[in-house]
Amino acid sequence: MPSLVQQLSAHRQFTALRTVVQCKAKATALREGPAVSDGPGAAWVAFLCPAHSKGLPEWPAAQTHAAQDSMPCGTVLDFRPAEQLLRSHADLWLTTLTGVRPETYGGVWSDVLDQADRVLRERLEPGVDADEDGPLPGFLTMLWLARRSAAEDDLMQAVTALGYCETISKDLLPRPDADLAPQ
């Protein structure tokens, strides 16, 4: 019998593995995203602990199930196409972090990511070596990979690099979910 995740995904391959919450707890709930527009199955499934299962308004769920798999809280299996994933990254953290809006660049993702890179590079202090400790240099490296991939029209590879950026962005953005983290 297929697992709940297999059923919800309609046996499709996932297109992105994301970490949307920093939490050390194990998931007890599986949030099912809305149905995908291009076929059967959920757009994404998120594994969440009790503290986070109802506290993520930016990830509206179609339904919540008891988790059957042992995944860390905040893990998301995403089944959406690249363009929708890029939009999701922009909506959830990239625009907040950089102020760059995709619609300003007509949805041309290489231009969006180039401008985001410019904004973030301006935040680096003059004379700071790219090998310095801290999240921004590593973030910029992965953003560079995303920019290069988008310029080559390899949007799935850009999404992969942005997944890493999304995880690092948790250290660059204010943490509104800090009060939800298990103690």
Is the dihedral angle over the CA atoms 83, 85, 88, 94 positive or is it negative?
negative
Percent of the chain whose predicted confidence (pLDDT) is above 70: 86
The confidence score (pLDDT) of residue 178 equals 46
Average pLDDT of span 139-143? 94
Assess contact for 25 and 67: CB atoms under 8 A: no
Distance CA 68, CA 180 (A): 22
SS3 call for 75: strand
Contacts of 113 (CB under 8 A, 6+ apart): 143, 146, 147, 150, 158
Give tens-digit pLDDT for 4-61.
787 778 778 889 999 888 889 999 988 888 887 767 788 999 999 988 887 777 787 7
The pTM (predicted TM-score) of the whole model is 0.82
